[in-house]
Copies of this chain bind each other. A is one copy, B any other.
Amino acid sequence: MSKDRPHVVIVGGGFGGLAAARALRRAPVRVTLVDRRNHHLFQPLLYQVATAGLSPADIAYPIRAVLRRQRNAHVLLAEATAIDAARREVVLKDGRLGYDWLVVATGARHAYFGRDEWEALAPGLKSLEDALEIRRRILLAFEKAEREPDVETRRALLTIVIVGGGPTGIELAGAIAEIAREVMKADFRAIDPTETRVVLVEAGPRVLATFPASLSTEAAAALRERGVEVRTETRVTAIDPGSVAFDGERIAAATVLWAAGVAASPLVTSLGAPLDRAGRLVVAADCSVPDHPEIFVIGDAAAMRGADGAPLPGIAPVAMQQGRYVARLLRGAIAGRPREPFAYRDKGNLATIGRADAVAHIGRLKLHGLLAWILWLVVHILYLVGFRNRVVVLVDWAWAYVTMSRGARLITGDIEPEPAPGARDDRRSALTAGTPAPVPGR
């Protein structure tokens, strides 16, 4: 491959970055995709890994394997720490990487609204490691409850609070209520997993704020039917090891999960352009950075408004369309054609509540129930990268559906991690809240 071709560097192998890379496969450019993970992650199903329905390999796929046949693409496992726009270089943890064109597709991470000390106590769900950590916490809380003779402590161990009523919060709450009430029932002897209390807390007036109000109401009702306590207009004021406080109330809970806020990756800050409140870079109509027509920011890292003036949501279709758009723009720019602005084609919005239940909003169509769930299933399977994953995921799901068992119910890592310095200590105490338990059995 000629070294004379323009070098397009893409930072981030998520939906946006990968879509851009693949859409450049026949362009006269050299593509380098940089990611600090070796895998592309199908984030919409990450909650299934957290709730032991799927395994990491079911929803992740090596980036090298995705691009293996694309001869103009090169994959680099490295962590980008800053962008030196003046020298046209990406600063890596262990080197520098020059570019002619740059696409920043680094996504979002959790934001704790300035309460960073909450992060260790209430993990969020963005990576495979996050999902395995959440799975570990939930399963270990059940194991501890099984050995706990004190009623109060046991109740705290069986209480799970989820902060944030968006799609991720809904999906986690529905799935956890389901495994507690149906799957774990036969597994435990001393405790009754139906004692589990799942509390979903939302600061706004309704869950699923980006959906029509009628679907929000139906989703909340469906969650309540599954035993989830849905609390809207409730703001978390404190998170401590073993408990969460709201306005005027404190709930003892061993497990607190965070699905409330996201912020863009700090990499975009280094570009020095204006950011929105969530740290996303406010891009021009062609996804480029002000004063830098050679740099594009796409997906969750970018702030852009749609034709109706509302901000584009942080979902995979936006990122993928922007990725393909930038690739088309680059091919045009190389051929000397002018830039057209990006236009988002809204294909609808889906959120799943649990087994055979979801909500869908597509154009003027509003769906709730089995049909919406089948739609959700088909869309997600079709999007999954790689044929193998689709087959295995289908087998896993079909099996879970028929038997209501959860094959991926593995706790990896130490059951009681060695105390480490700093924040990890708090994490541990959140898990082992209460005094050492005597052992039943004799």
Contact = CB atoms under 8 A, between A and B. Distances in A.
B388 A76 contact: no
Contact of A187 (B64, B143, B391): B64
Contacts of A119: none
B386 A407 contact: yes
A30 interface: yes
Interface stretch (A351-359, A368-376, A409-417): A409-417
Contacts of A334: none
B409 A65 contact: yes
Contacts of A77: 140, 143, 146, 411, 415
A189 B420 CA distance: 39
Interface in A1-25: 7, 9
Contacts of A438: 95
Nearest to A30: B441
Nearest to A186: B68
A147 interface: yes
Contact of A55 (B56, B97, B442): B56
Contacts of A442: 7, 97-99
B97 A441 contact: yes
B410 A38 contact: yes
A129 interface: yes
Contacts of A388: 395-396, 399, 403, 405, 407
Interface string A217-240: 000000000000000000000000
Contacts of A61: 407
Contact of A410 (B7, B62, B412, B437): B62
A392 interface: yes
A386 to B, nearest CB: 7
A62 B409 contact: yes
A228 to B, nearest CB: 24
A223 to B, nearest CB: 26
A186 B71 CA distance: 10
A344 B386 CA distance: 46
A93 interface: yes
A200 to B, nearest CB: 26
Nearest to A400: B388
A436 B57 contact: no
A168 interface: no
27 contacts: A7-B441, A36-B415, A39-B410, A39-B411, A60-B410, A62-B409, A64-B187, A65-B405, A74-B189, A75-B187, A76-B439, A77-B140, A77-B146, A77-B411, A78-B147, A78-B439, A79-B416, A92-B439, A95-B438, A95-B439, A98-B442, A128-B410, A132-B412, A386-B407, A387-B399, A388-B407, A420-B420
Given A77-B140, A97-B442, A392-B392, 13 more contacts: A38-B411, A39-B409, A55-B56, A57-B407, A62-B409, A64-B188, A69-B186, A77-B146, A77-B411, A79-B415, A79-B416, A92-B439, A420-B420
The 3 A-B pairs of least Cβ separation, nearest first, read: A98-B442, A64-B187, A95-B439
Interface of A: 7, 9, 30, 32, 36-39, 55-58, 60-62, 64-65, 68-69, 74-79, 92-99, 128-129, 132, 139-140, 143, 146-147, 186-190, 386-389, 391-392, 395-396, 399, 403, 405, 407-413, 415-416, 420, 436-439, 441-442
